[in-house]
Amino acid sequence: MHEFDEAVLQCFLDNQEQLFSKTVMNTYEEAEEFLLDSMAVIVNSVKEVWEFFEEEGIDTDGMTEDDILEAAEVFVIGDGRYLIVEA
């Protein structure tokens, strides 16, 4: 069974240049392998993105919701979920 569904993998492939200066991966398999290796997580709300950042010790003082969602590590899947990639 796959860890990441098609919507997550497509979102990452479409937006991978948030993390890399160019397209690095072209297939779902490559994307899934990278996401598994980087221990990416999926959360279900902006609040959970915020909580993840705080648990990881990322300084969120003074950050707005928009700031959090614009972080290179955060990918908006578009169905209410968010992918967080620790790069």
* Residue 65: both structure tokens together: 């919701």
**Residues near 20 by Cβ (< 8 Å), separated by ≥ 6?**
none
Position 86 scores a pLDDT of 84
- Phi first, then psi: give them for residue 42, nearest 5 degrees: -115, 130
pTM for this predicted structure: 0.91
Average pLDDT of every residue of the chain: 93
Q: Which residues pair with 86 in a beta bridge?
A: none
Position 7 scores a pLDDT of 97
**Which stretches in the chain have pLDDT values below 50?**
1
Position 2 scores a pLDDT of 54
* Residue 68: both structure tokens together: 């959090």
Give first-to-last CA distance, the chain, whole Å: 24
- pLDDT by residue (tens digit) across 24-46? 999 999 999 999 999 999 999 99
Position 1 scores a pLDDT of 36
CA distance 25 to 36: 14
